[in-house]
């Protein structure tokens, strides 16, 4: 039967890597469709969904900087990359008959809406999926920080961070087979153990505003739905 939602409003962070699928670069239409399906299941049980997409599948400011580009220019390119991903995601959602909208931190009239917090909350209440693009709009930040920021702003009950592994491990499980997965962590434990789940800015922001973060594996079919009905997946980071 249909399960009851536990959360009414969530912020889901999808990294660019998630959109890439098995390819080494770019956007996988197959992955987009699978995501649209899973996000549609949340909307179907009345969960309001805000999304923040990364851009690492296309450009990363720090990587471009290492290759000789100006960092700020690279970060601008990275933020534009998140807008491309957001457009692709919106397209996939709309093709699955899920109303959605892109709001960008950088104004891009005629392509996407400009971010407006009050309007965002109104659209969410109407059941539209809101895709927040262009990160925070500032260089030297990441889309993880943008996810925590938007999550706090729209008063989401939790930030869900989709990753390749099913939670936070004591070490990289690919390199160290003995690595163990944490079910729960506090913000301070993440910082003290230097677990590198999210950047410091993102973790500190969540700690400051008591925003729980759940790290889970998006590839695992049904995991996302399980979380919003109160299931345990991956690692929960909270006070
Ligand atoms: N970026 C930025 N400010 C932000 C968010 C992102 O300058 O608030 C740039 C930065 O260059 C970053 C790139 O956009 O490397 C893509 O974002 P991110 O690396 O967070 O994407 P993900 O790793 O989630 O795919």
Ligand 1 pocket, residue 17 CB under 6 Å:
yes
Ligand 1 pocket, residue 163 CB under 6 Å:
no
For the CA of 16, the closest atom of ligand 1 is 25
Residue 58 alpha carbon to ligand 1 centre in Å: 10
Phi, psi values for residue 210, rounded to 5°: 55, 45
pTM of the prediction?
Answer: 0.97
Phi, psi values for residue 194, rounded to 5°: 50, 50
Closest C-alpha to 225, from 93, 8, 39, 14: 39
Q: Tokens standing for 164?
A: 């390749």
Q: Dmax over Cα atoms in the chain, in whole Å?
A: 56
Ligand 1 pocket, residue 136 CB under 6 Å:
yes
The yes or no reply on domain 9-237 and CATH 3.40.1160.10 is yes
- Residue nearest atom 15 of ligand 1, based on CA coordinates: 60
Residue 17 alpha carbon to ligand 1 centre in Å: 12
Pocket test for ligand 1, best of 12, 58, 61, 80 (most atoms within 8 A of CB): 61
Residue 147 alpha carbon to ligand 1 centre in Å: 11
Asked if ipTM goes beyond 0.90, one says yes
Cα–Cα dist 213/55, whole Å: 20
Residue 210 alpha carbon to ligand 1 centre in Å: 23
pLDDT at 96: 97
Residue in this structure with the two tokens 């008959």, named with its chain if needed: 97
**Element counts in the chain: helices (H) and strands (E):** 9, 11
For the CA of 60, the closest atom of ligand 1 is 15
* Strand stretches in 136-175, DSSP E: 158-163, 168-169
pLDDT (tens place) for every residue of the chain, 239 residues total: 457 999 999 999 999 999 998 888 999 999 999 999 999 999 999 999 999 999 999 999 999 999 999 999 999 999 999 999 999 999 999 999 999 999 999 999 999 999 999 999 999 999 999 999 999 999 999 999 999 999 999 999 999 999 989 999 999 888 998 999 999 999 999 999 999 899 999 999 999 999 999 999 999 999 999 999 999 999 999 99
- Contact, 190 vs 237, CB < 8 A? yes
Closest C-alpha to 135, from 63, 61, 195: 61
pLDDT at 2: 59
pLDDT at 208: 98
Ligand 1 pocket, residue 61 CB under 6 Å:
yes
Ligand 1 pocket, residue 104 CB under 6 Å:
no
Helix (H, G, I), strand (E, B) or coil at 230: coil
Residue in this structure with the two tokens 């677990």, named with its chain if needed: 195
Q: Tokens standing for 208?
A: 């400051």
Sequence-distant (6+) residues with CB within 8 A of 43 are 49, 98, 127, 129
Q: How many angstroms separate the Cα of 61 from the Cα of each of 22, 29, 143, 164, 197? A: 23, 25, 12, 22, 19
Ligand 1 pocket, residue 226 CB under 6 Å:
no
């Amino acid at each position: 039967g249909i399960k009851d939602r536990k959360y009414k409003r969530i912020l889901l962070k999808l990294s660019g890597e998630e959109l890439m699928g098995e390819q080494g670069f770019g956007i996988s239409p197959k992955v987009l469709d699978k995501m649209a399906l899973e996000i549609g299941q949340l909307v179907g049980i009345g969960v309001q969904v805000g999304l923040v997409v990364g851009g690492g599948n296309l450009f990363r400011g720090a990587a471009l900087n290492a290759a000789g580009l100006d960092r700020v220019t690279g970060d601008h390119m990275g933020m534009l990359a998140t807008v491309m991903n957001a457009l692709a995601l919106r397209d996939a959602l709309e093709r699955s008959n899920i109303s959605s909208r892109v709001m960008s931190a950088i104004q891009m009239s005629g392509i996407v809406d400009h971010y407006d917090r009050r309007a965002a909350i109104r659209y969410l209440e109407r059941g539209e999926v809101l895709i927040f693009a262009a990160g925070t709009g500032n260089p030297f930040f990441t889309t993880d920080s943008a996810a925590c920021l938007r999550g706090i702003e729209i008063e989401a009950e939790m930030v869900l961070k989709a990753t390749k592994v099913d939670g936070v491990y004591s070490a990289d499980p690919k390199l160290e087979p003995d690595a163990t997965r944490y079910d729960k962590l506090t913000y301070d434990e993440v910082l003290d153990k230097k677990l590198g789940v999210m950047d410091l800015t993102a973790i500190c922001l969540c700690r400051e505003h008591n925003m729980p973060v759940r790290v889970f594996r998006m590839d695992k079919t049904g995991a996302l739905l399980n979380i919003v009905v109160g299931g345990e997946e991956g690692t929960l980071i909270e006070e």
